[in-house]
Amino acid sequence: MHLSRINIVNTLNNGDLVFFSGKDYISRTIKVVQFSRWSHVAMVIRPQCFNYEPIILESSGKMGQVIMTPLSDRMISYRGKIGIRYLSGVEFSDEEMYQLKLAQFDFYGRPFETKKFEMLKACFRPFSNKEEDLETVFCSELVAELYQVMGLISEDHNSNNFTPRSLSRQVPLLRGELSKMRIFK
């Protein structure tokens, strides 16, 4: 199902996931290694400091750090396919939103993952990461960690074992549910 840009920006809320299928060499490599259509994932937040406009919080290899990007800008400039998974059935408490805000500012500017082997192990379950290391983070690790902060994924799961592929499929949510993937472009 394809959605228009106006529809998508207006319907996204805190916790919705945005997936990207890049065409560059690194994106193609990521897709091949994890046998996935998606090379990148980010999480939507609607912060007060942006007048509640949807932005994405993402760990960007291109920028080398965790950044916040207005979603409408990204949707205009991105050349690959974009997929959306809506989070539903969850009402966040004031405390959970406060914790998300703290995490948002804590992760903002944090370096992109420098341990390539950590990213590679996330793709192969038998060799999965045994410990979390949040000094540097890759895209899906950031999203999984934010989901843990929001009480959506158990702390028993290491955030550095999530990939764009695993987040695009069955996610072990403690509450709520993620919609099927909806393709934007």
The whole-number pLDDT of residue 85 equals 97
Tokens 């983070």, residue?
137
- Burial of residue 97 (CB within 10 Å: 0-12, 13-18, 19+) is middle
Q: What is the CATH number of the domain that holds 160?
A: 3.90.1720.10
Query: pTM for this structure?
Result: 0.88
pLDDT score of 75: 84
Please give the residue range of the domain that contains residue 53. 5-183
Task: Look at residue 1 in the predicted model and tell me its pLDDT.
Answer: 43
Contacts of 28 (CB under 8 A, 6+ apart): 22, 39
- CA-to-CA distance for 142 and 57, rounded, in angstroms? 9
Write down the pLDDT at residue 31: 65
Number of structural domains, the chain?
1
- Cα 170 to Cα 148: distance, rounded to the nearest angstrom: 16
- Among residues 87, 104, 1, which one has the least CA distance to residue 50? 104
Output the tens digit of pLDDT for each of the chain's 185 residues.
445 665 777 889 999 999 998 777 676 676 666 667 888 999 999 987 777 789 999 999 888 999 999 998 888 888 888 999 999 999 999 999 999 999 999 999 999 887 765 565 565 564 565 677 788 899 999 999 999 999 999 999 888 889 899 899 989 999 999 999 998 76
The token duo for 54 is 């949807």
Contact 147, 96 (CB under 8 A): no
